[in-house]
Amino acid sequence: MFALQSHRDDLTRLEESDRLRGLRTRAGVDFASNDYLALASSDRLRAAIAHALDRGVSIGSGGSRLLRGNDCEHEQLEAEAAAFFGTQTALFFSSGYAANIAAFSSLPQRGDLVIHDELIHASAHDGMRLGRAQYVSAIHNDVDAFADAAKAWRRDGGTGQIWLAVESLYSMDGDLAPLPELVALAADLEAMVLIDEAHATGVFGLNGLGLAEPLHALPNVISLHTCGKALGCEGALLCGPAPLREFLINRARSFIFSTAPSPLMAVAVREALAIVADEPERCESLWQLIRHAELALADCGVARTGSQILPLIIGNDARTMDLAASLQVAGFDVRGIRPPTVPIGTSRLRISLTLNATPSDVDQLASVLKAAL
């Protein structure tokens, strides 16, 4: 009778505070996904998968990559990804979460310090908790705060390697990290830099290479490119200097003890990278939509962020979810985001712009949202 009672109590508390989550299937015009370039349903991806099946590529990998799960499709993707991003090496993971767990739990060593932006992805926080290095947060996008944390640690006797960790484009605020200033600071500190390009890959940079595109070849920069957002697939690629791949293969537990991703997904990601390179008009169309949305949604209080992610801060949890529900009833898939995903008091509507929506859809959303507010 008492089994899982504490869990039931926790769910009750979440419900009473308007923070109980639930799953719902896709419906309405897409203003919620991260499928920025509308590649998830691309005919080219479908054709690549169909051709791979015809030539006998396995659906499942059958084991971890250190056992029998390593496939030539994985290795071909990694070679092509390293060439695409201009890095010495790349390693394919089943998800961005698994890749961040691997990076933060295994790369910084005992005696090192990780200084991370306070708004970095939850997966980075989980990776740091599993790792052996010390870690401290810095005020969001404040380069001086990173510098102060490093100086304080050295002053207190810290002698190890310093790691600076940021997202290039923040998933809930839509703002951009000051990467040139952070990399300049890293040079002064002789620090390593971990850049999560999850929401920038395919959208920013020359040929969709991300906001860190000018930095990829630096020997102290490691970048994460997730494949389940603008690339429309699944998985993630950790890219960086030559020792990265072999070290992670030997030390990253989320790589060593996970069944390898499907070889078919490696095929799909290779094709997605080719689409980004071959069809720059997709990115151009997205930026036209972004500029249109910034104007159309301005009267609703939606700030310009300089990216495809446009948050509307509401504050109150219940009010946020009521607004989201009213938009969903009207046929627009806009989701409410509440703590702990965002700080307390900053519940918001996260309007995500993708090529699954049109300028006309944006105009209609603006009209309904303005009335709802």
Residues labelled as active-site residues = 34, 121, 167, 171, 196, 199, 229
Closest CA to 90 of 239, 201, 254: 239
Residue 254, classed as helix, strand or coil, is: helix
Backbone dihedral angles phi then psi of residue 370, each to the nearest 5 degrees: -60, -40
| DSSP code at position 115 | E
Q: Sign of torsion, CA 69 74 79 85?
A: negative
Rounded to whole angstroms, how far apart are CA atoms 81 and 334?
A: 32
Closest CA to 203 of 182, 181, 174: 174
Residue with tokens 């926790």: 10
Do the beta carbons of residue 226 and residue 254 sit within 8 Å? no
CA atoms within 13 A of residue 233's CA, in its CB half-sphere: 36
Do the beta carbons of residue 17 and residue 210 sit within 8 Å? no
Q: Which amino acid is at 300?
A: C
